Structure 1
Amino acid sequence: MGNNLTREKDYSIITAAFIFILLAVVFVVIIFKQINLGKFILPFYLIVIGMFFFATAMESENKLGEWLASLSWTFNMLGLVLFYQYTTGNLKSWIYMWALIFPTGIGLGQVCYGAVKAKKEPIERGKVLIQIGFGLFIFIFVVFKLFFPVIARMDK
């Protein structure tokens, strides 16, 4: 119990139920309104898988829950990056956006897990991973845009 943040309550069951209900509502709306996701179907399903894993992680009390939360946000970040790339057509951004998926997604999963479960250790580990991920993203973005502008303009 010394693990928890200042005696905060664990809202994991409420969070998991809310996520499952939200996913069900989204699927019902898509089916009844006959919405065609088109090219966004892959990012949509990656985000849905990520949210399902996160809701499942909320019900686990051991290290498996933290691991599932990290995996879930990796799926979510991959879906969000692909959504951005499909929307803008900027597929070359993968060169620097991978850093938002691997260390940053894992860190977001740990921070979210720690916040919902009221545990301090996952939050601290997650913050470090998020800082590393954003640092890599900015560094690679700057290097790519400054030193390789020819590659950035190849498609024109």
Structure 2
Amino acid sequence: MEENWDKRRDHSVIIAALIFLFLAILFGLIILRQIYIGKFTLPFYVIVVGMFIFATSLEAGNGIGEWIASLGWTLNMFGLLLFYHYGTGNLESWAYSWPLIFPAGIGLGQLSYGAVKALKSPFERGKILVQIGIGLFILNLIVFNLFFQ
């Protein structure tokens, strides 16, 4: 089933405003409630910076906007992996989880940029990069768990 990309609308202003509003509410709650996030401070701030960069990319031009969105989602994936590693203590998985940051993070940036801006080409490129990243992650997971216990 082929989607009609010509009828899709650009919702970048709404999505960027929602991201900025969410970040402002989140920081307001942390300050007002004096929430201490402890060892998760670094991953939290990496994800916040990634979301800020992604929201900023939605108002950039098509060429540079894709690059900025990819950078933002690469930071988001890095922050999410830091959350996982700090939370579980499974630091050995750093050896095989890098494909989730490099190809998959860039792919998520392009995929989400294409979806929000209603552009087919970045969406398709992002899908391919996410599939490659997940495939490499699974391959690395299998190899490292079989040979390097």
* Shared fold per TM-score greater than 0.5: yes
Structure 1 equivalent of residue 85 of structure 2: 85
How does 1:1-156 map onto structure 2 within 5 Å?
5-149=5-149
For residue 59 of structure 1, report the CA deviation from its aligned partner: 0.6
Looking at structure 1, the residues matched to 107 and 5 of structure 2 have their Cα atoms a distance apart, in angstroms, of: 18
Any unmatched runs of 5+ in structure 2? none
**Moved >4 Å (runs of 4+):** none
Looking at structure 2, the residues matched to 88 and 62 of structure 1 have their Cα atoms a distance apart, in angstroms, of: 39
For residue 147 of structure 1, report the CA deviation from its aligned partner: 1.2
For residue 6 of structure 1, report the CA deviation from its aligned partner: 2.3
Looking at structure 2, the residues matched to 80 and 137 of structure 1 have their Cα atoms a distance apart, in angstroms, of: 15
The AA in structure 1 aligned to 2:33 is K
Looking at structure 1, the residues matched to 23 and 9 of structure 2 have their Cα atoms a distance apart, in angstroms, of: 25
Q: Which range moves more in the overlay, 4-13 or 33-42? A: 4-13
Looking at structure 2, the residues matched to 5 and 51 of structure 1 have their Cα atoms a distance apart, in angstroms, of: 25
Looking at structure 2, the residues matched to 106 and 52 of structure 1 have their Cα atoms a distance apart, in angstroms, of: 16
Larger radius of gyration, structure 1 or 2?
A: 1
1:2-33 alpha-carbon deviations (Å, 9 max, x no partner): xx912211000000000000000000000000
For residue 110 of structure 1, report the CA deviation from its aligned partner: 0.2
Looking at structure 1, the residues matched to 134 and 8 of structure 2 have their Cα atoms a distance apart, in angstroms, of: 29
1:113-155 alpha-carbon deviations (Å, 9 max, x no partner): 0000000000111111111101110001000111112xxxxxx
Looking at structure 2, the residues matched to 126 and 26 of structure 1 have their Cα atoms a distance apart, in angstroms, of: 28
Looking at structure 1, the residues matched to 142 and 49 of structure 2 have their Cα atoms a distance apart, in angstroms, of: 32
Looking at structure 1, the residues matched to 98 and 36 of structure 2 have their Cα atoms a distance apart, in angstroms, of: 28
Looking at structure 1, the residues matched to 121 and 40 of structure 2 have their Cα atoms a distance apart, in angstroms, of: 36
For residue 61 of structure 1, report the CA deviation from its aligned partner: 2.4
Structure 2 equivalent of residue 153 of structure 1: none
The AA in structure 2 aligned to 1:111 is L
TM-score (norm 1): 0.91
